[in-house]
Structure 1
Amino acid sequence: MVKDTNGRDKNDDTDLDWDDDYIASDFTRRQTLDMFAAGGLMAALAPLIGGLSSPAFASADDEVVKIGYLPITDATALLVAHGMGYFEEEGLKADRPTLIRGWSPLVEGFVSNKFNLVHFLKPIPVWMRYNNKIPVKLMAWAHTNGSALVVGGHTDITDFSQLGGKQVAVPFWYSMHNIVLQYALRKSGVTPVIKAEGEALAPNECNLQILPPPEMPASLASRKIDAFIVAEPFNAMGELKAGGRVLRFTGDIWKNHPCCVICMHEQATSEKQEWTQKVMNAVVKAQIYASQNKAEAARLMSKDGEGYLPMPAPIVERAMTLYQDDSGYIDTGAIKHAESWGNGRIDFQPWPYPSATRLIVEEMNNTVVGGDTTFLKGLDPQFVADDLVEYSYVKNALEKFPEWKNDPSVNPGDPFNREEILEL
């Protein structure tokens, strides 16, 4: 039997060899990832930062758009804007986006000014700005929905209440995935915990651990974990290549929730206003295109298209399009609000609703994470909604491209406000 670098059979029909390079690269970052997730970001980045006035936060002398992204569909708006030439249409020069293999190195690249346009899991900029004093600005939502909890085929789990005594992977402590998962666990009578390997679990305790997204399908297939919750297309990969099945889509728990958001340096938003507006125009146009042409956007991003993502087109297309019709997800209970909610597997709506930001800050206080969470105490949700988010540029872009109101999640009569619905 021939083994690969991760100890798997090279002839294993799970066919996960495509991610070996990502796993190997992420493994070298594991200590950094754990430290970042535990709240040690400032210490790790002190040589780069040296205080808020450091040139590390300065805008680039040129005005080239420099994108950093993870190989997930959360990056769709950035990748489509580049692939469709929307930055050039706005008169901007844009380098080919740089694929990064973990959240911690993406944060590092952003702080060191290697990138001036990125997507982050929405709780990450909250943690960056208020725990680590990094002047990041949330510019728009990158997408809505687009994540799921996938359980292993070796388990008989059919409900969140059965996750007691199980091992579940999340991509980052400060993630929508961790927030939604722990909400569902608590509602189901299960206590989320973070325990060391080998430490005993009570029957009602679900142990959480961090894994980079590319490691999750392989870890599920090898039964190192019982389930994972992550962005697409790793859920589709888990279904097709790791014997997993979707227990529940997160967008069916929190209706049209934000997941990743578009972020920029605060200095750029104040000093390069015309440039910033052009960037946001391109991003919003890309989201409208992706919303209306999900299959085409999937193929463009896949390795069969422009190659931004390392997965073949059928996997990315499944992650972007397969939801209600002929999917079987309604029968299995992965979707429980199909008729009443009407959302997709992943959707694209750029407006950063303040109500969602407020709810995220509130839920972060209820979520178990590694590291010091002192910064969350006394953090006013309305203050965060007003201070973290820069609304003007995305609103200008939405007014330039009013087609965004055609998204089913938007109320045309009151498009800039909504009520948050969180329901298991």
Structure 2
Amino acid sequence: MTLTRRDLLRAGSGLLVAGAAAGGLAGLAKLGVAAAAGAAPAAGSSGPLRIGYLPITDAAPLLVAHGHGYYADQDLAVARPVLFRSWAGLAEAFLTRQVDVVHMLMPMALHLRATVDPGARVLAWNHTGGSALTLAPHLTDLGQLAGRQVAIPGWWSIHNIVLQRMLRGAGLEPVIRRGASARAGTVELIVMAPSDMVPALAGGFIAGYTVADPFNAAAEARGVGRIHRFLGDVWRDHACCVLLTHEELIDTRPDAVQALTDAVLAGQRAIVADRAGAAATLTDLSYLPQPRPVVTTALNYPPDAHAVVHPRWQPQQIGFAPFPFPGFTAALVENMRQTLIDGDRTFLDRLDPATAHHALVDDRFVRTALDRTGGAAAWGLPADLTRTEEIAV
């Protein structure tokens, strides 16, 4: 399927709307993203696999797998991963087949498949947790956000979903495309590229933001913000980013997809075994532009450095459990229906929470990879690979 920029715009997805809010189409063009799928080989071609990513710790398993040579260990040729600045740019690169594999926001993956790319397939979870709500240092209570702006990385993100639950739990009303009012208790949400958030907070242009690390750790390191709450303290072990590829790659190169999945799981295990070493890999090999101390902190926050509501959940710790639980997808769809979005959300009326998971996720490869690495128990997962979602604002 060939998609043009016009197709993407017509999809009403908020992807390029988000891009406009964080630099617009001109910003995407600067990333070198082609306008049509014909500008690059199809995902099912026999060349090296191409990986796209944002400079966040969510991408760490893909990047550590490359830096440690785990793809080569699987006899899989993989080009050096390509960094993108915004979710809009990464999504467009995926849709136009500039890259074969990405870590993608789970809500955005659902949206892409339902609206513009029925061949999008989730292979596994890339990580769990790893995000936070960071506020200006002088703000100590959510109620102080009334009348202010807060940035999110994308409309179709777990960040938007969890933030809106938090705001409503504090008696505030999230609004879009209209100024916030302290008297009315409203908070305006805007989309911003993660890399723009720290300087925007430092300049006083926004009151806070919710995003993946290391941008939360970076704000604290610079003294321009403080972590108010980890999102994993609201939704336990939620999947933020997932491993996303194209169905034609699965159909034409299943061995490559299995090798990719095996390598990513090896990357996950390497991070858990040595978080400081993973931070060194990510920074010394220039996968992430942030300083090593910031990335090290983001991968391994001290357990007592921030107040948490549910310490048993260890919300400060980014996790790396790869299995995509169907119950999470169902709960995610339900929560997406309750979330304000600046864009066409009519596809949610057609999305059945009970069947959305199996339409999007192909878990054959991660199941095989789990079996090859000791099974569910070796990863601390329930034997029957099911779980009950825990959400508590």
Shared fold (TM-score greater than 0.5)? Answer: yes
What is the CA-CA distance between 1:336 and the residue it aligns to? Answer: 1.2
2:329 aligned with 1:320, yes or no? Answer: no
Q: Which amino acid aligns with 1:146?
A: G
What is the CA-CA distance between 1:288 and the residue it aligns to? Answer: 1.4
Paired position in structure 1 for 2:3: none
2:139 aligned with 1:156, yes or no? Answer: yes
Q: Tell me the secondary structure at the aligned position of residue 324 of structure 1.
A: coil
2:164 is aligned, of 158, 182, 187, to 182
2:320 aligned with 1:337, yes or no? Answer: no
Counterparts in 2 of 1:210 and 1:320: CA distance versus 1, 3 Å: same
CA contact (8 A) 2:159 2:211 kept: yes
Counterparts in 2 of 1:404 and 1:243: CA distance versus 1, 3 Å: farther
What is the CA-CA distance between 1:189 and the residue it aligns to? Answer: 1.4
Report Cα offsets for 1:119-157 as digits up to 9, x if no partner: 11111111111122442101111110100000102x333
Paired position in structure 2 for 1:17: none
Q: How does 1:29-178 map to 2 (within 5 A)?
A: 30-32=23-25, 48=36, 58-153=42-137, 155-158=138-141, 160-178=142-160
Q: Where has structure 1 moved over 6 Å in runs of 4 or more? A: 26-29, 54-57
Paired position in structure 1 for 2:238: 257
Paired position in structure 2 for 1:38: none
Q: Which amino acid aligns with 1:405?
A: A
Paired position in structure 1 for 2:390: 421
CA contact (8 A) 2:35 2:96 kept: no
Separation in structure 1 between the aligned mates of residue 377 and residue 270 of structure 2, nearest angstrom: 13
Stretches of structure 2 that go unaligned for 5 or more consecutive residues are 1-18
After superposition, the CA RMSD in angstroms is 2.4
CA contact (8 A) 1:220 1:242 kept: no
What is the CA-CA distance between 1:403 and the residue it aligns to? Answer: 6.8
Separation in structure 1 between the aligned mates of residue 69 and residue 376 of structure 2, nearest angstrom: 19
Separation in structure 2 between the aligned mates of residue 189 and residue 48 of structure 1, nearest angstrom: 45
Report Cα offsets for 1:209-267 as digits up to 9, x if no partner: 01100111111111100010000000001111142111100011101111011100011
CA contact (8 A) 2:34 2:93 kept: no
Counterparts in 2 of 1:293 and 1:316: CA distance versus 1, 3 Å: same
Corresponding pairs, count: 371
Paired position in structure 1 for 2:8: none
Report Cα offsets for 1:160-208 as digits up to 9, x if no partner: 3332222100000000100110111122211110124x57565311110
CA contact (8 A) 1:80 1:301 kept: yes
2:260 aligned with 1:310, yes or no? Answer: no
Stretches of structure 1 that go unaligned for 5 or more consecutive residues are 1-25, 36-44
Separation in structure 2 between the aligned mates of residue 28 and residue 311 of structure 1, nearest angstrom: 23
Mean CA deviation greater in 126-135 or 274-283: 126-135
Paired position in structure 2 for 1:192: 174
Q: Tell me the secondary structure at the aligned position of residue 381 of structure 1.
A: coil
Separation in structure 1 between the aligned mates of residue 39 and residue 370 of structure 2, nearest angstrom: 32
Separation in structure 1 between the aligned mates of residue 257 and residue 79 of structure 2, nearest angstrom: 16
TM (norm. structure 1) is: 0.82
Paired position in structure 2 for 1:277: 258
Q: Tell me the secondary structure at the aligned position of residue 390 of structure 1.
A: coil
CA contact (8 A) 2:327 2:387 kept: yes
CA contact (8 A) 1:151 1:244 kept: yes
Report Cα offsets for 1:16-70 as digits up to 9, x if no partner: xxxxxxxxxx8896223999xxxxxxxxx99625xxxx89794342241211100
CA contact (8 A) 1:358 1:381 kept: yes
Provide the identity percentage: 36
2:179 aligned with 1:206, yes or no? Answer: no
TM (norm. structure 2) is: 0.88
CA contact (8 A) 2:44 2:252 kept: no
Q: How does 1:388-407 map to 2 (within 5 A)?
A: 388-402=360-374, 405-407=377-379
What is the CA-CA distance between 1:422 and the residue it aligns to? Answer: 0.3
What is the CA-CA distance between 1:404 and the residue it aligns to? Answer: 6.3
Separation in structure 2 between the aligned mates of residue 421 and residue 61 of structure 1, nearest angstrom: 41
